[in-house]
Structure 1
């Protein structure tokens, strides 16, 4: 059924919306048990608890359980209803209409309406979310002709938006608590009020964060758990021991070197590739505002000092694939191998540095710089140490600085007090959502985490990214992204290293906790603990 704008505005409450429901999930092998406390071991403490304003993983893991999105997604990225029950894109691609779920309440008892959707899109996602700035850049306004109808009006088509509406990716926040405030300083960022299956109770910083069952959740009978406790376990060895003893039920921040031993434990299970909503990619990024890195020969020389085969085998323990392009292989619809590559070749690296005028000094050192690996697991620090050793062989001294997650975000994205960094981030579920934010010059946004931290500016890359955003023909869209990857790997503001897997370890008694593409950042409304 095609709904005209006239009919949409006139009859919002009586629309016969086109079917968009996802297929019902398979019946679980056992009947869920109600009650119990799920304990999740986390190594990194969030900087805030509202992922509408950040793409940081520690925030998403918590807030995905407190908030809902308009949609959720099956593991194959097919959309499922959540706060929206029906949706339709107009024939010209310039309007996306949502019928919203009736009877949904915020945790403070206020009703959820289309005004919350409009506010979230225009005032939060478009302004403060590193991925949202690109994803929703074509949204000019959101019409709210009825409390249960929201219509995104676009200046140009944006075919990827329907992949970007999960509670992890684009979190609807309550207008009545945010309107008129400084969104980044709003106290509800750290004491969130959502519509999700769990309510925020308290946050004991450095120790634990507690959520409890939302008794008024719109999905009747859910959640099954009484509460979720996020327990701070910064020591990976302590996290592994807690899993083995049953003190915690779930962790995703264990050393990959320990997983083989953990998998042998009779009470534990290792879950691989648990989040298909975005394919993770680890990269080494340059601060292009530093004069040293404005010579592409220096960047290429450093790329030739990276032994990806060694990293995959000895640091990542085979949990991933080698990455040579900005869009990783798991996103096969857009990935290409036809890009400039920089194989491990220390002689070629030395020749490039000589050519760039950075010859060895009497002490054998050409130059020095710092590297800040993100505090998201030992793999990034180990990657930095391996690269430091290789760079020393070509006369380059790299100092590796360690800091907690909050200081990393502040240093790189606010103070911009860094030379290079190593971090992992999602490149999906679509390049316009996951990849563009790192390469688009309009996303150079100090203070916005995981934006264009390199300060990469390329008119050609911008043109290709912006054209791919609005292209609705799949073949033409792929061609644009292929060309973008070739430009990006020629300019090399960031060296792709490893396309990593999402791996979590859980007690076998924890059931049905990963049922969507959001993986362990999903809402856990179906999770339960065997007695």
Structure 2
């Protein structure tokens, strides 16, 4: 098992998987895609991967979960993707783009000859229909990521113009996760387009066609033989199956027996055992997700006081959390990890673990032993219960009286949304390595009701949003993070999370984004 440098992990992962059993990577099954014939189905080359999350709906603009992004990459394409050199943004359905001098108009030239699975031509009408849907339906989950969107128009058949309310430096990053929709089908069916049943299935331009789904069970996709961008990377897999397997032990058993080809969220305590299983490879991948504490900093609560927040900061033994509790990762030395825009290597430093200092800082506050309400969700990151309990013990040693409540994620989200907490623990990734959505929603807009306000930081957040020059924008982000790190609010980064993946030998072609979104669209599987 190896930790990957964040900047190079996508390339390293692809190379690692491509080297696995290369001598056996041949053509796979010869069955025609999508056939339900029992004889042909038996010859299909199938790739079955399992994760711990159920699929609850199929509207790609109304989701913000990692597994939903993964499945979206099978069926849909976006205007751009993050697979350029050093994780840079490169063309996908767009071929080139330009921005006006005032930063308010982005013009995209679009790829010709691309068709949706229903036969519709991809063109500027698709871009208009997709983005206009978020303007017209602001309650869509993805609409919240487009606060600067003013309008969109088709300049001609293969040219789309996106208009903004103010300049937005992170627009291309947001387009990475904005799948293009079929305009005619969308106009005809509306939201019903995203129902998945015998007579209606998701429609994209992607390399895999949605075929079958039973709620709570498998979702199946067949290879799109007419996909516009196979090139030399055409998958030899005929059918991809996503299987939601909630129980960790069941996923582990499936990869051992060969019933599953790949599993996500390998339990920390099972990773070493799986490494010794013949035919199974295990990868421990350091991504951009940060496990952090969130403070409630209003209503006269103790964490309004910087000294109290810094007492927490120095009470935490981050290295111990990573090495002995969480099962791996990297202690946070900055609010974002290396590889995310705004990381400042020169000034990054892991806060000193010093209980005496923590006690001294706490003594300078008005804290008189009141109970601290500390909430934690279940099933969100590896060993979350054990990590939360370790944090509790560290804070108690520093003099805090803490009441830890571990609850189902839905209940946790409700409590946090109501601001009914003093302290919480959670994780978040930085999508495609850009922090804009995180710092805008969680810090500037205070989505989690911290009550913390820092006018200087908020001004710089707005400035970086409107800065089109990447060098100037990165400097502004460094300044935002420097303020947040010094203030330890509204969040306090603990450690960079590790994701553990297990797969059978002979699996190649997996692409991995900086935010640990797995892209299975180019997957291949050697014959057994």
Q: TM-score, normalised by structure 2?
A: 0.79
Distance in 1 separating the partners of 2:216 and 2:460? 44
Q: Secondary structure of 2:67's partner?
A: helix
Aligned CA distance change for structure 1 residues 396 and 177 (closer, same or farther; 3 Å): farther
**How far apart in 2 are the matches of 1:429 and 1:43?**
22
Separation in 1 of the partners of 2:130 and 2:154?
A: 13
Matching of residue 259 in structure 1 with residue 268 in structure 2: no
Say whether the 8 Å CA contact 1:374–1:422 is kept in structure 2.
no
The aligned residue for residue 481 of structure 1 is 477
Q: Residue 355 of structure 2 aligns with which residue?
A: 346
Q: Does 1:424 align with 2:430?
A: no
Work out whether residues 84 and 101 of structure 1, in 8 Å CA contact, stay in contact via their aligned partners in 2.
yes
Report the Cα distance in structure 1 between the residues aligned to 2:525 and 2:349, rounded to whole angstroms: 48
Q: Per-residue CA shift, 1:47-101, capped at 9, x if unaligned?
A: 5444433332132222222221112232622334322233334465443322223
Residue of 311, 317, 334 corresponding to 1:325: 334
SS in 2 for 1:120: helix
Pairing of 1:171-182 with structure 2 (within 5 A)? 171-176=179-184
**Match of 1:283?**
292
Aligned to 2:255: 243
Q: CA deviation at 1:117?
A: 1.6
1:380 pairs with 2:359:
no
> Residue in 1 aligned with 2:491?
494
Give the C-alpha shift of residue 483 in structure 1.
Answer: 1.9
Please name the residue that 2:8 is paired with: none
- Residue by residue over 1:191-230, the C-alpha shift from the partner in whole angstroms, topping out at 9 and shown as x without a partner, is 6433322233444344333333345533358553222222
Instruction: Give deviations 1:309-362, integer Å, cap 9, x for gaps.
Output: 1111013333x32113222223376335637975333344344444332223xx
1:399 alignment counterpart: 404
**For residue 375 of structure 2, what is the aligned residue in structure 1?**
371
Q: Is 1:432–1:465's contact at 8 Å kept on the other side of the alignment?
A: no
For 1:202-281, list aligned pairs within 5 A: 202-219=212-229, 222-273=234-285, 279-281=288-290
Aligned length: 485
Identify the residue that residue 178 of structure 2 maps to in structure 1: 170
CA distance in 2, matches of 1:431, 1:518: 9
Aligned CA distance change for structure 1 residues 284 and 32 (closer, same or farther; 3 Å): farther
C-alpha contact (below 8 Å) 1:47/1:406 kept by paired residues: no
Residues 417 and 218 (structure 1 numbering): CA distance in 2 closer, same or farther, change over 3 Å?
farther
SS, match of residue 64 in structure 1: helix
Instruction: Report if aligned partners of 1:113, 1:148 keep a CA contact under 8 Å in 2.
Output: yes
CA drift of 1:387 comes to 0.8
Question: Cα 1:223–1:420, aligned 2, differ >3 Å: closer, same or farther?
Answer: farther
Q: Distance in 1 between matches of 2:67 and 2:378?
A: 12
| Deviation larger for 371-380 or 218-227 | 218-227
How far apart are the structure 2 equivalents of 1:107 and 1:486?
47
Query: What is the CA distance between 1:137 and its match in structure 2?
Result: 3.9
Deviations 1:438-484 (A, max 9, x none): 54433x4xxxxxx5564543322221012122334444333322221
Q: Separation in 2 of the partners of 1:518 and 1:432?
A: 11
2:94 and 2:423 map into 1 onto residues whose CA distance is: 41
Counterpart of 1:467 in 2: which secondary structure?
helix
Once the 2 structures are TM-superposed, how far is the Cα of residue 288 of structure 1 from its aligned partner? 4.3
CA distance in 2, matches of 1:113, 1:286: 46
Tell me by how many angstroms 1:36 deviates: 1.8
Unaligned runs of 5+ in 2: 1-13, 30-43
Aligned pair partner of 2:28 in 11, 15, 33: 33
Q: Where does the alignment leave 5 or more consecutive residues of structure 1 unmatched?
A: 1-24, 361-365, 445-450
Query: Is 2:290–2:427's contact at 8 Å kept on the other side of the alignment?
Result: yes
Change (3 A) 1:340 1:330: closer
Q: Deviations over 1:212-266 (max 9, x none)?
A: 3345533358553222222222222222221111111111201234323322333
SS for the counterpart of 1:484 is helix
C-alpha separation between the residues in 2 aligned to 1:412 and 1:254?
28
In 2, are the aligned partners of 1:385 and 1:400 still within 8 Å (CA)? no
**1:471 aligns to what?**
467
Give the CA deviation at 1:144: 0.8
> What SS does the aligned partner of 1:312 have?
helix
Q: Judging changes above 3 Å, is the alpha-carbon distance between structure 1 residues 267 and 108 closer, same or farther for their aligned structure 2 residues?
A: same
Q: CA deviation at 1:375?
A: 2.0
Distance in 2 between residues matched to 1:343 and 1:274, nearest whole Å: 23
Which of 500, 506, 510 in structure 2 is aligned with 1:509? 506
Taking structure 1 as reference, are residues 503 and 110 closer, same or farther at Cα in structure 2, changes over 3 Å only?
same
TM-score when normalising by structure 1: 0.78
Give the whole-Å Cα distance in 1 for the aligned partners of 2:188 and 2:380. 34
Distance 1:407 1:186, change over 3 A: farther
CA contact (8 A) 1:373 1:384 kept: no
Q: C-alpha separation between the residues in 1 aligned to 2:142 and 2:127? A: 17
Closer, same or farther: CA 335–176 of 1 in aligned 2, 3 Å: farther
The structure carrying a bigger helix percent of its residues is 2
The answer to whether the 8 A contact 2:432-2:515 is kept is no
* 2:94 corresponds to: 84
Match of 2:436 in 1: 433
Contact 1:280 1:425 in 2 (8 A): yes
Equivalent in the alignment of 1:120: 130
Classify 1:517/1:307 alpha carbon distance in 2 versus 1 (closer, same or farther; 3 Å).
closer
Residue pair 2:419, 2:450 contacting (<8 A) in 1 also: no
Q: Which moved more, 1:497-506 or 1:200-209?
A: 200-209
Give distance in 2, aligned partners of 1:172 and 1:420: 39
